Structures are given as C-alpha cells and as structure tokens.
Amino acid sequence: MWKERIEKYRQVLAYMETIQSRGIVLGLDSMKRLMGALGNPQDTLTFVHIAGTNGKGSVLAFVSHILKCAGYRTGRYSSPAVFSRLEQIQVNGRAISKADYVNGLETIRQAAEKLEEEGYPYPTPFEVETALAFWYFREKKCEIVVLECGMGGLTDATNIINTAAVCVLTAISMDHMGMLGEQPAEIAAQKAGIIKKNCQVVCARQAPEVMRVIETSCREQGAVLREADSSLAKNVRYGLERQRFDYDSYDKIVISMAGQFQIENAIVAVETISALRTCGYPVTEKMLRKGLLTASWPGRFCILARRPLFVADGAHNVDAAQKLKESVSFYFTNKQIITIMGILKDKEYEKIVALTAPLAAQVITVTTPGTKRALAAWELAGVVRKYNPNVTAADSLQEAVEMSYLLAGRDSVILALGSLSYLGELSGIVAERHKIRRDTHGRSEES
C-alpha cells in the first residue's frame, strides 16, 4: 500500500512538472472557471489576504502563528516553496499530507482537463496550486486562512476571493516590472487591487507616492485603513536569537526572527491582529505575544548552522538586498563574510550585486537549479567582478557550500542570498554536512 501511495505522489509531482512550461498568465478568467468547476470552495472561507514586494512571508508566518496560538483552525498558503511543495499549504502549522495532496490534485486535474476539452486554456501551475489550497482549506473546515499573493494582487490568482476580512500590504518597491509596471505608483496600484469593499486594510509604512495610491483605493472601496508605522517602535533591541521592542500599548514584545526588517513585519502583524479583532476574531495579548515569539520563517535571515555561522536570506530584489545589507552591516561588524549568490536573470541582478557583493571577502556564484530563469554562475560572476574581484563561479550548490567552508574561519559568516528557489536545496546540503536536526519550529540544532 505504501509503495502505491509513493508512486501516486511521484505521478502528481511529475504532473506539476509537465505544466510548469505554461508559465505565468495574469488575469482571473481562467481561475474563475476552475473554481466554478470545483464548487467555489473559496467562498466558504474567511481570509487575511497579503500583498506586497517584501515581507509577505514573514507577516504571514507571524499572523498565522498568532491565530493558531489563539485557538483558531488556521490555514496558510504561501509561495514559492523553500523546502517542499507540501509546505506551501498548511493547517495549524502542519503541511498538507501527501495523500491529501494527491487526492486534491487529482480532483483539480480532472476539472482542468474538462475545461480544456471545452476549449478553454489549461490553468497555470500557480492557478492549480491555489485551487488545491482552497479545496484543502474547505476540506479541513478552516476558520480563517492567511493567504499570500503570488505576484502583484489585482490579477493574481489568489484575488479570486471575495471574503477577505483584512487585506494587508507589506513594503512595496520595484519588482516584476515587466509584469506589474515601471513606476512605484503602477506597482502599488496592482498590489492595492486586493482591497475589497468595506474591509479592513493594514499597510506598512510606504513611500509617499505609494501611500497615495493605497489611500485612494481605500476611499473608493470604503475600506478602513490602518498604517503600521515601524518608526513608532521604541526601546528596540536587536539580536540574532531574540529581538525586543515596544509598540503602541505593548511593552517588551519579543520575536525570534532575526533581521532588522523583522521589527517592521512584526508591527504589521500586530496591526493585522487588531484589525481582525474588529471583525469578530478576538485574540488575547498573551496569545499575541506567544505567536510573535514562536513564529519562524525559512529563507529570511535564517540561521542554518553555527561554527561558522551560516545565514540564508532570499533577497531577490533591490529593496530586500538593501535591507539585507543593513542587517549584515549591523550584526556582523568586522566579521569576514563569505557569500554564496544565486539570482534569476529577470531580476535587477546588477543592482542586487552592487549592494551585496562589496560586503564579502569572497563571493561564490551559483546557477539556481531547476529553473530556466536562472542567471548562469559564470555570467553572474562577471557582474560581481565589477564590485568585488574575489569571485568564483561554482559548478553546483554542493561545490559552493564546500568552497565556502574551506574559505571560512570559525568566526566567519557564510551568507547565502538571492532566489528563494535554491535555498531549500542549499539548506539540505548544509544540514547534511553538519548533521543538523531540525525541530518542529524550523530552527536548527547541532546534534
């Protein structure tokens, strides 16, 4: 029986691989048809919908963990996957099982193939995965779902929903310009497209031109806007293991996620919980604090190992790279930095390199595996050489990790940055090398 289940799981993974070539198609027509064929499971759910350029995953982690601690049956959907496709869809912190993944995808596959027979385009991979998430959350009778946009907002597949209690906008900056627009205001208009009539809106501190777009959208929709202003945080104490700050009426909030930028994301989460309280989802201060403290998020200033310290960060756009630079300069003053770098060719890779390459004593470039969008290691090395002459192109992630350890001293810092899509595989290589045991919260401990 178990062999049969494994084979079915392999088959659905192969199915997902075969439809990857369909790429990204913005627009909701295909998603509406697919969800209609499935009985519109999304209409039975209540959502916290999150859009933005950076911080979406961290805010999702904070909010979903707080709601779980408060006793709500909480679904969460995020992308891209870091370690496994299964981790993208979770209920109360537990990933969808392989059996449910197989059963759900088979249901969606049948619906998609029927639509194709009727002459409609086959759904994209992201539409299929999003439909699977909605199907699964209905099956599990989730009381609330924390939902992350894939790209943009207005025409993103997740924006099929009409039952968002709170819409959240994290930091908005330049990314996916070819798809979303060439100016901050154009990108902001796409992100603000998730705002629904009469809903609660929580917004991170934004540039003035971005804020004007969001305020206009809220007025048009009759939505209530709350600004999560991180500049109001007081008595901030930064750290790699714990960070503490005061905000509003809360004294000594403690979070475990490292990175200076996580203070801002935690404040967005606090305001989101305040907004949910007005929507009939009470959360006690005790549960709020517990959720903030115990939340974790792989791929954002995540410590993979110690002695030497190995940090991974999915800084895949200019704003994230700037924030990473600030955190590295703050936490690792006078430390030797060995950087592993893999970036997609449709990103502003030269600007990312310009910000991060000078931080390192040595840069090792890699070709991000498993995607046609990868910038070749040798080509990336050529760009890095403009800003740091000490650069080597590795033939594989395994080689890059081994090289980094050879170059690093016990007190050095190895920093892997760039596309989230390779950090999961890299984390596995580091874990195997250190024989690291991962606890249930995603943190790592040396055995």
Co-location of 219 and 282 in the same domain: yes
Strands 362-365 and 436-438: unpaired
Cα angle 216, 218, 223; round to 5: 160
Q: Distance between CA 241 and CA 226 in Å, rounded?
A: 30
Co-location of 249 and 342 in the same domain: no
Q: Distance between CA 274 and CA 376 in Å, rounded?
A: 45
Q: Where are the beta strands (DSSP E) in 261-346?
A: 302-305, 309-313, 337-342
Last residue of a domain, one of 294, 311, 344: 294
Co-location of 278 and 321 in the same domain: no
CATH number, residue 397: 3.90.190.20
Instruction: Output the pLDDT for position 440.
Output: 39
DSSP state of 97: P
Co-location of 107 and 243 in the same domain: yes
Co-location of 276 and 337 in the same domain: no
Q: Distance between CA 15 and CA 308 in Å, rounded?
A: 40
Last residue of a domain, one of 267, 294, 321: 294
Instruction: Output the pLDDT for position 436.
Output: 46
Instruction: Output the pLDDT for position 175.
Output: 56
Q: Which residue has the tokens 């007025």?
A: 219
Q: Which domain holds residue 397?
A: 302-446
* Phi/psi at 242 (5° precision): -145, 145
Task: Extract the residue ranges of the chain whose pLDDT is less than 70.
Answer: 1-3, 21-26, 174-182, 435-447
Residue type, 59: V
Last residue of a domain, one of 247, 270, 294: 294
Instruction: Output the pLDDT for position 300.
Output: 82
Co-location of 339 and 290 in the same domain: no
Instruction: Output the pLDDT for position 442.
Output: 45
Cis bond upstream, residue 80 (ω within 30): yes
Co-location of 260 and 309 in the same domain: no
The SS3 assignment for 199 reads coil
Give the DSSP per-residue string, 29-47: HHHHHHHHHTT-GGGG--E
The pTM for the full model equals 0.87
CATH number, residue 29: 3.40.1190.10
Instruction: Output the pLDDT for position 384.
Output: 96
Co-location of 199 and 57 in the same domain: yes
Co-location of 307 and 289 in the same domain: no
Co-location of 28 and 155 in the same domain: yes
Co-location of 407 and 384 in the same domain: yes
Co-location of 313 and 280 in the same domain: no
CA distances from 257 to 266, 320, 340, 411, 413 (A): 9, 16, 21, 21, 18
Domain count, the chain: 2
